[in-house]
């Protein structure tokens, strides 16, 4: 009896999962296929979307591939990180004497000797892998079958990032998954719906371009990319309000803003970062303080900004919709170091403020002086 097993977070399931599973089924013609939705992937620090939702997406996308596919709740029942060797043990107990085939991506194949209890995996299963485009494959000394076909290199992480950054679904998703994501407004689609309804088109475009810039910088400096995109998408959520509305919002919600009276008198639009912070926290229920602080301090900056705060501060001034010359200066500086990027971004802001004979908030002046001290 041949049993094919395939596991993943399916957060979300995509065409890469579909094509490799289809190829494995048609090559092996297994008697049973067990799909394991990960309760919590051992390789990820953050909790993924709820198990039931990810399993449902996998079911909707993959069940038509083959008969005898079982969407197994084994990992959910364990309520903990489950390692592959444990899953193989479970399947062997379920079907005594069966031959287990373990389906993985080629990128996993290279890492497998380092998996927990890998000796057990190699002794008790045959590894089945699809060659993915762009992944270099090293010959291994355990039993494996390489599937013929051209398996696209798609990552669920990049799909989530793309949706969160620009509110559009990439074409690496299957139609059933697209429908589910749109119906349940997952991966930040809810934020984009709100922003599209509340911001002017130009501002909404700005937000998406800041997200793009922040993800680029995040990659360069090793930040959490989903946090970069999330903070960028939210950073100007209060920007649609008029000066009067911003002041009223701040009063009504009892926002604690330094120099509030002067800001109201000279530059009420500065309130938008505090209002955006409040919206992120209370309307979108964001709990990640790193993200919230990056939203809150994106306009005037503050001493000792975190990695994410610096990235958002710079990206806001380096996005493609900014004046080309300014954006280029800020971006070039940020490629040298984050400190140089923040300095350049603050300089552009101050130059603009002074050129337009506008009031400079004390927080901004203090921050500028602090940057000058650091730079010299």
Residues that bind Fe ion (CB under 5 A): 236, 316
CB 330, min distance to Fe ion, A: 13
Q: Which residue's entry shows tokens 């060797």? A: 85
**Which among 81, 84, 80, 140 has a CA at the least distance from the CA of 107?**
140
For Fe ion, which is the closer residue by CB, 137 or 266?
Answer: 266
What tokens does 117 get?
Answer: 């209890």
CB 294, min distance to Fe ion, A: 11
CB 282, min distance to Fe ion, A: 18
Q: Do 210 and 224 form a contact (C-beta atoms < 8 A)?
A: no
For Fe ion, which is the closer residue by CB, 75 or 236?
Answer: 236
**Which among 246, 279, 277, 240 has a CA at the least distance from the CA of 260?**
246
Torsion, Cα 252 254 257 262, to 10 degrees, reads 50
For Fe ion, which is the closer residue by CB, 15 or 206?
Answer: 206
What tokens does 259 get?
Answer: 């120099």
CB 193, min distance to Fe ion, A: 19
For Fe ion, which is the closer residue by CB, 72 or 316?
Answer: 316
Q: Tell me the three state secondary structure of residue 144.
A: strand
For Fe ion, which is the closer residue by CB, 115 or 204?
Answer: 204
CB 299, min distance to Fe ion, A: 5
Q: Do 228 and 312 form a contact (C-beta atoms < 8 A)?
A: yes
Question: How many Å apart are CA 43 and CA 84, to the nearest integer?
Answer: 12
Peptide bond into 115 cis (omega under 30): no
CB 374, min distance to Fe ion, A: 23
For Fe ion, which is the closer residue by CB, 223 or 345?
Answer: 345
């Amino acid at each position: 009896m041949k049993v094919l097993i395939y596991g993943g977070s399916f957060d979300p399931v995509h065409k890469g999962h579909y094509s490799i599973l289809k190829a494995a089924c048609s090559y092996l013609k297994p008697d049973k296929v067990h799909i394991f939705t990960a309760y919590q992937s051992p390789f990820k620090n953050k909790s993924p979307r709820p198990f039931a939702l990810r399993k449902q997406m996998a079911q909707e996308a993959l069940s038509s591939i083959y008969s005898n596919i079982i969407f197994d709740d084994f990992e959910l029942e364990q309520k903990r990180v489950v390692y592959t060797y444990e899953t193989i043990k479970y399947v062997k107990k379920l079907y005594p004497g069966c031959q287990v085939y373990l389906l993985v991506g080629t990128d996993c194949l290279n890492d497998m000797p380092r998996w927990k209890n890998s000796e057990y995996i190699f002794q008790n299963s045959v590894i089945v892998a699809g060659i993915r485009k762009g992944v270099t494959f090293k010959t291994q000394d355990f039993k494996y079958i390489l599937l013929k076909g051209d398996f696209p290199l798609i990552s669920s992480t990049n799909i989530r990032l793309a949706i969160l950054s620009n509110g559009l679904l990439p074409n690496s998703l299957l139609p059933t998954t697209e429908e589910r994501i749109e119906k349940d407004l997952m991966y930040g689609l809810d934020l984009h719906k709100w922003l599209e309804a509340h911001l002017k088109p130009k501002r909404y475009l700005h937000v998406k371009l800041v997200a793009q810039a922040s993800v680029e910088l995040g990659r360069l400096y090793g930040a959490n990319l989903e946090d970069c995109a999330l903070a960028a998408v939210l950073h100007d959520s209060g920007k649609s309000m008029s000066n009067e509305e911003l002041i009223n919002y701040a009063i009504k919600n009892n926002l604690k803003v330094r120099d509030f009276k002067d800001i109201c008198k000279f530059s009420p639009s500065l309130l938008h970062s505090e209002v955006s912070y409040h919206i992120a926290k209370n309307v979108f229920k964001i709990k990640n303080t790193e993200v919230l602080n990056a939203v809150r301090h994106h306009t005037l900056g503050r001493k000792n900004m975190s990695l994410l705060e610096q990235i958002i501060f710079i990206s806001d001034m380096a996005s493609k919709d900014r004046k080309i010359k300014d954006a280029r200066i800020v971006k070039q500086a940020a490629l040298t170091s984050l400190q140089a990027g923040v300095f350049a971004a603050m300089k552009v802001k101050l130059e603009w403020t002074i050129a337009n004979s506008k009031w400079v908030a004390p927080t901004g002046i203090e921050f500028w002086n602090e940057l000058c001290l650091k730079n010299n």
